[in-house]
A and B are shown apart, each in its own frame.
Chain A
Amino acid sequence: QKEVEQDPGPLSVPEGAIVSLNCTYSNSAFQYFMWYRQYSRKGPELLMYTYSSGNKEDGRFTAQVDKSSKYISLFIRDSQPSDSATYLCARESYIPTFGRGTSLIVHP
């Protein structure tokens, strides 16, 4: 079983929608998670960093970890066309491991 799994999508939403992106992870001992955003033909960049369980909010973005179900979510409010990218969840460790990413398309 992969350490972190994501549905690759694509997920297509209209501008202004609330977007929910999800990952599952395999080991309940994992504590630190990250969300990276990757625009086409670019390297990923860190969007949010979360620890264990609970919510973390940054502007239009909220990251949530549900430890009991081993579920990681990223919510984007008031989505914009500029949010169109691939979103990768990652487990932080000595070797950060990534999900395969979910492609998000926000159309005007």
Chain B
Amino acid sequence: GEEVAQTPKHLVRGEGQKAKLYCAPIKGHSYVFWYQQVLKNEFKFLISFQNENVFDETGMPKERFSAKCLPNSPCSLEIQATKLEDSAVYFCASSQSVQGNTGELFFGEGSRLTVL
């Protein structure tokens, strides 16, 4: 597609429940990034993919967070056993490359996760 599509727009979970978010990058973009934005604060990098391979996962809280980008499927970010502090907007972005002018990130509209 011509834009990054994130679903769902809103997700409400009780503490301890699982949450799964999806992202379809722009067709032809090789890189996918996930960022977490808590209460309009700064963007915290979680993980990036180059095609279906993890490119960098230094931001991932590995204990409960996992992510995948499989061929011919939307990318996903899954949180097992959600906690209150996981409440945030999760943004997915895609890019053609990671340097130079083609490193522009194209963001989706975000998925707002509320943990009660």
Interface on A for B, CB 8 Å cutoff? Answer: 2, 32, 34, 36, 41-46, 49, 86, 88, 92-101
Contact = CB atoms under 8 A, between A and B. Distances in A.
Interface of B: 4, 33, 35, 40-43, 45, 48, 55-56, 58-59, 91, 93, 98-101, 103-110
B42 A100 contact: yes
A43 B107 contact: yes
A45 B26 CA distance: 14
Contacts of B105: 36, 44, 46, 96
Nearest to B91: A43
Given A94-B48, A96-B33, 20 more contacts: A34-B104, A36-B105, A41-B110, A42-B109, A43-B93, A43-B108, A43-B109, A43-B110, A45-B107, A49-B101, A49-B104, A94-B55, A94-B56, A94-B99, A95-B33, A95-B45, A95-B59, A96-B45, A96-B105, A98-B42
